[in-house]
């Protein structure tokens, strides 16, 4: 895990090696590796959390991911602690490792309900597919204040003839003739039942017959009596989607979490050349040329440390 992370960043460091004037990490290898491994373990945990999203959040129609790569540059991490503390131990920076991790990564998990409406044209004689039907009559239980009155189209409803579509989201237009179970119905009425997944409400002349209908799935056809026109069919479906977004703000010292932390910590940034007793750490592609580091007696040449980290 560590070597994989280092190999990608060592390429970057090698590519700009001439600009690295010289630096070292005064901390022990053990503390450096412990710090790096702790960070990598947090990243592995985050990766697992995202990979297990569908088992920890079951039951969605769709899962949508926009996930940045989970990785960091170990040199940026270790250099940050070195710049801040000089010689540091893992115990000393343990809590801060988690703070930086939380600044580097933002995970958002959102539930989104999308109403998807699709319109297609169906020719006369063709199937509308399987539709869900319910039953109603003209009583006050079924029709409330409209009980006993005419349908939405103005005509009075008749059994084996009148069907209704949802008023807000009509499956087919008013007046469409539909054949189901060998009976030709006409859309003459409207109701509010699309939210129950019902396409047609079938009219009966008694409440007991309407109740007996329950919910039935029938195949529906556009009747020949519609003439030669095509009929526009509108289907509405609610998609329940889990949206997972992971943003990696990166440990780039110029713009990322570490840079902000360094600024907050009052660490000086310099763009000059080396001076006696002071070593500058130059960051690969970073526009900020150098981090001023006051090196202690334990300093070793940077290339030694690079080798040991790469090995």
Hey, what are 228's tokens? 């030669």
Site string for Zn ion, 63-102 (x = CB under 5 A): ----------------------------------------
Rounded least distance, CB 201 to Zn ion, Å:
11
Matching residue, tokens 């602690």: 81
Could you tell me how far CA 220 lies from the centroid of its own chain?
37
How many C-beta atoms lie closer than 10 Å to residue 77's C-beta? 24
Q: Which of 17, 71, 169, 207 binds Zn ion (CB under 5 A)?
A: 207
Beta-sheet pairing, 127-136 with 200-203: parallel
Sole window of 67-75, 103-111, 200-208, 221-229 interacting with Zn ion (rule: CB under 5 A): 200-208
Q: What is the CA radius of gyration of the chain?
A: 35
Contact in structure between 26 and 82 (CB atoms under 8 Å): yes
Kindly tell me which of 3 and 147 has the beta carbon lying closer to Zn ion: 147
Kindly tell me which of 211 and 236 has the beta carbon lying closer to Zn ion: 211
Sole window of 179-187, 202-210, 241-249, 270-278 interacting with Zn ion (rule: CB under 5 A): 202-210
Closest CA to 109 of 40, 60, 43, 70: 60
Residues 112, 236: Cα–Cα separation, whole Å: 16
The size of the chain, in residues, is: 311
Hey, what are 170's tokens? 């009509």
Query: Does position 137 bind Zn ion by CB under 5 A?
Result: yes
Sole window of 96-104, 176-184, 206-214, 226-234 interacting with Zn ion (rule: CB under 5 A): 206-214
Kindly tell me which of 139 and 238 has the beta carbon lying closer to Zn ion: 139
Sole window of 19-27, 30-38, 127-135, 204-212 interacting with Zn ion (rule: CB under 5 A): 204-212
Alpha-carbon distances of 234 from 26, 58, 86, 214, 258, rounded to whole Å: 70, 29, 68, 23, 53
Rounded least distance, CB 204 to Zn ion, Å:
8
Sole window of 55-63, 79-87, 132-140, 157-165 interacting with Zn ion (rule: CB under 5 A): 132-140
Number of residues that bind Zn ion (CB under 5 A): 6
Kindly tell me which of 142 and 187 has the beta carbon lying closer to Zn ion: 142
Restricting to residues 209-228, name those near Zn ion by CB under 5 A.
Answer: 210
Kindly tell me which of 142 and 194 has the beta carbon lying closer to Zn ion: 142
- Residue 111, SS3? strand
Restricting to residues 280-309, name those near Zn ion by CB under 5 A.
Answer: none
- Phi first, then psi, for residue 5 (nearest 5°) are -65, -40
Kindly tell me which of 85 and 146 has the beta carbon lying closer to Zn ion: 146
Query: Does position 53 bind Zn ion by CB under 5 A?
Result: no
Alpha-carbon distances of 53 from 43, 48, 59, 65, 126, rounded to whole Å: 15, 8, 11, 10, 42
Closest CA to 262 of 34, 82, 108, 17: 82
Query: Does position 142 bind Zn ion by CB under 5 A?
Result: yes
Query: Does position 164 bind Zn ion by CB under 5 A?
Result: no
Query: Does position 139 bind Zn ion by CB under 5 A?
Result: yes
Type and span of the H or E element at 39: helix 29-51
Interface residues with Zn ion (CB under 5 A) are: 137, 139, 141-142, 207, 210
């Amino acid at each position: 895990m560590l070597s994989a992370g280092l190999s990608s960043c060592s390429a970057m460091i090698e590519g700009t090696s001439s600009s690295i004037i010289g630096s070292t990490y005064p901390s022990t290898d053990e503390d450096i590796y412990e710090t790096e491994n702790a960070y990598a373990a947090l990243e592995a945990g985050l990766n697992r959390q995202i990979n297990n999203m569908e088992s920890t959040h079951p039951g969605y129609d769709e899962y949508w991911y926009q996930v940045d790569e989970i990785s960091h540059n170990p040199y940026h991490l270790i250099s940050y602690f070195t710049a801040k503390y000089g010689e540091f131990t893992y115990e000393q920076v343990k809590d801060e490792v988690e703070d930086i991790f939380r600044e580097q990564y933002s995970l958002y998990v959102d539930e989104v309900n999308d109403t998807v409406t699709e319109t297609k044209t169906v020719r006369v004689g063709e199937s509308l597919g399987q539709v869900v039907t319910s039953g109603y009559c003209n009583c006050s239980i079924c029709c409330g204040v409209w009980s006993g009155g005419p349908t939405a189209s103005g005509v009075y409803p008749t059994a084996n003839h009148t069907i209704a579509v949802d008023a807000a989201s009509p499956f087919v237009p008013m007046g469409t003739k539909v054949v189901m179970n060998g009976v030709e119905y006409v859309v003459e009425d409207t109701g509010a039942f699309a939210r129950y997944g019902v396409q047609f409400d079938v009219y009966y002349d008694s409440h007991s017959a309407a109740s007996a209908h329950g919910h039935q799935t029938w195949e529906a056809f556009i009747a020949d009596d519609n003439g030669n026109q095509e009929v526009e069919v509108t289907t509405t479906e609610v998609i329940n989607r889990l949206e997972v977004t992971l943003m990696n703000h990166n440990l780039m010292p110029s713009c990322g979490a570490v840079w902000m932390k360094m600024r907050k910590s009052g660490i000086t940034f310099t763009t000059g050349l080396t001076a006696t007793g002071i070593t500058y750490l130059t960051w690969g592609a970073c526009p900020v040329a150098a981090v001023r580091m006051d090196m202690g007696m334990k300093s070793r040449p940077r290339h030694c440390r690079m080798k040991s980290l790469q090995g």
